[in-house]
């Protein structure tokens, strides 16, 4: 009897409408491989999309992106994962664009799309917009995607300093690239990059990154199990105003196929053929050169003829080696983006990750900041006479304070996070009770 399939990844996801929106325009997909065969060809797939547009256009655009990218990716026959992911996003853009052209209400609808595939060759990302993919490794959070936003594009140009008056005045919510508004879109491709045991990947919409800063994300992801991490980060985004929808996907690498089957992408037949002929030509030229030199020496031909033959052989060898080297470089330049193979895949961009790094800091400062959030909720509950049971919340905070005093910052942050989640849980119950009582009174 065969052993049950273990995907080697722990996943958690949560999406929330927020505090000021009436509908959720975010969408996501979490599709771990269900078998070794699926893992070998397509790996584990994760997608977060954040839609934009009037009426239901944004919601439609993001749901189409999450569904179409996955469907196109799994059904394509292109063997290279980077190329197939690029094609999947490109085809999704084409369909979203067509849908927008067919209905005036959906005209110019768009969506971000951040896609992560974890494969035997490592991680590969396809990205458009300002949703993000992060990787946490040994306490260091790295942003693996470039924000296609006005702020990031201007800062990347080097013409405006982020701390200058103009840099601070730039609107934060203007994106420069998305799926849907145009028939063609530039897609960033990152990877493949190696994965390690314990790596945590986080995909999110800007509902999270706009309210919870990167160091907080790093620390919470570092200190908490997956389900608690996504729950408390959504709660924090909402407690800080919740102006937007928030979607978070977390995937942690565990023992399994991602670590057991690391290997480089297989060479194409074209590359193997080039390598064979390049080496063959080089060896033949070297052999002819050696034989000619020995013959001239033994037969005592005149020195001029011998020198001329050696020079011809040397030049031929250099030409052969240069031809081989240039051909290999051209092949390498083509393959990462699939620019001239697999049916003329459009050019991909990116490939410079990570773009920013942050250090996890489970210290007193963050512990107090999280505690202040609970204290503010406590004061609000007193003012509004909410029926709250604070015993468990107080116990969690006291345990957290003791852990921080003893130098165990990770446990302290963990306990403080649980206190926030418990407080929000009770507030939701209070809200539901109030709604039920109002309905009865009517």
Per-residue pLDDT of the chain (442 residues; tens, 9 = 90+): 568 899 999 999 999 999 999 999 999 999 999 999 999 999 999 999 999 988 789 999 999 999 999 999 999 889 898 999 999 999 999 999 999 999 988 989 999 999 999 999 999 999 999 999 999 999 999 999 999 999 999 988 888 877 788 878 888 889 999 999 999 999 999 999 999 999 999 999 999 999 999 999 999 999 999 999 999 999 999 999 999 999 999 999 999 999 975 444 444 444 444 444 544 555 454 555 555 554 555 455 555 555 555 555 554 454 444 444 444 444 433 333 333 344 455 667 888 999 999 999 999 999 999 999 999 989 988 888 888 899 999 999 999 999 999 999 999 999 999 999 999 998 888 877 666 555 445 5
CB 111 within 8 A of CB 179: yes
Residue ranges covered by each domain of the chain: 9-260, 269-334, 362-436
Closest by CA to 271, choosing from 335, 218, 224, is 335
Distance of CA 156 to the CA centre of its chain: 19
Alpha helices in 21-173 (DSSP H): 36-42, 57-75, 81-102, 150-157, 165-169
Q: The whole model's pTM is what?
A: 0.80
The SS3 call for residue 327 is: helix
* Phi, psi of 16, deg, nearest 5: -145, 145
29 burial (CB, 10 Å; 0-12 / 13-18 / 19+) is: buried
- β-bridge pairing 110-111 and 44-52: antiparallel
Question: Is the four-CA dihedral 389, 393, 395, 401 of positive or negative sign?
Answer: negative
CATH of domain 9-260: 3.60.40.10
Distance CA 273, CA 268 (A): 9
Question: Is the four-CA dihedral 275, 278, 284, 290 of positive or negative sign?
Answer: negative
CB 219 within 8 A of CB 366: yes
- β-bridge pairing 44-52 and 26-31: antiparallel
């Amino acid at each position: 009897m065969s052993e049950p399939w273990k995907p080697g990844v722990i996943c958690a996801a949560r999406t929330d409408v927020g505090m000021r929106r009436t509908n959720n325009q975010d969408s996501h997909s979490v599709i771990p491989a269900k078998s070794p065969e699926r893992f070998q060809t397509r790996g584990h797939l994760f997608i977060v999309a954040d839609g934009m547009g009037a009426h239901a256009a944004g919601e439609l655009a993001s749901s189409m992106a999450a569904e179409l990218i996955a469907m196109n990716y799994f059904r394509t026959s292109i063997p290279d994962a980077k190329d197939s992911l690029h094609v999947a996003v490109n085809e999704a853009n084409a369909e979203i664009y067509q849908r927008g052209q067919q209905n005036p209400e959906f005209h110019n609808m768009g969506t971000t799309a951040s896609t992560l595939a974890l494969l035997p060759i490592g991680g590969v990302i396809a990205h458009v917009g300002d949703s993000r993919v992060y990787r946490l490794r040994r306490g260091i959070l790295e942003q693996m995607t470039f924000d296609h936003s006005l702020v990031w594009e201007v800062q990347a140009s080097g013409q405006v300093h982020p701390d200058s008056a103009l840099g601070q005045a730039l609107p934060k919510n203007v994106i420069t690239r998305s799926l849907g508004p145009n028939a063609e879109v530039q897609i960033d491709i990152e990877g493949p990059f190696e994965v390690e045991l314990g790596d945590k990947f986080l995909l999110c919409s800007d509902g999270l990154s706009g309210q919870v800063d990167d160091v907080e994300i790093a620390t919470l992801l570092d200190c908490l199990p997956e389900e608690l991490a996504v729950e408390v980060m959504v709660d924090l985004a909402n407690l800080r105003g919740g102006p937007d929808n928030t979607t978070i996907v977390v995937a942690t690498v565990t023992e399994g196929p991602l670590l057991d089957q690391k290997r480089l992408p297989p060479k194409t037949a074209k590359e193997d053929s080039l390598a064979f002929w390049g080496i063959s030509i080089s060896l033949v030229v070297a052999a002819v050169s050696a034989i000619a030199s020995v013959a001239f020496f033994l037969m005592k031909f005149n020195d001029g003829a011998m020198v001329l033959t050696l020079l011809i052989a040397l030049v031929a060898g250099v030409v052969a080696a240069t031809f081989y080297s240039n051909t290999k470089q051209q092949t390498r330049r083509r393959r990462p983006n699939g620019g001239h193979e697999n049916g003329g895949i459009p050019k991909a961009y990116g490939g410079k990750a990570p773009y920013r790094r942050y250090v996890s800091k489970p210290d007193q400062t963050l512990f107090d900041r999280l505690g202040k959030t609970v204290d503010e909720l406590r004061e609000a509950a007193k003012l509004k006479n909410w029926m709250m049971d604070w015993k468990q919340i107080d116990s969690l905070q006291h345990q957290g304070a003791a852990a921080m005093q003893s130098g165990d910052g990770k446990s302290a942050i963990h306990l403080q996070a649980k206190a926030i989640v418990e407080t929000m849980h009770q507030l939701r119950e209070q809200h539901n009770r109030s709604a039920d009582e109002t309905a009865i009174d009517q």
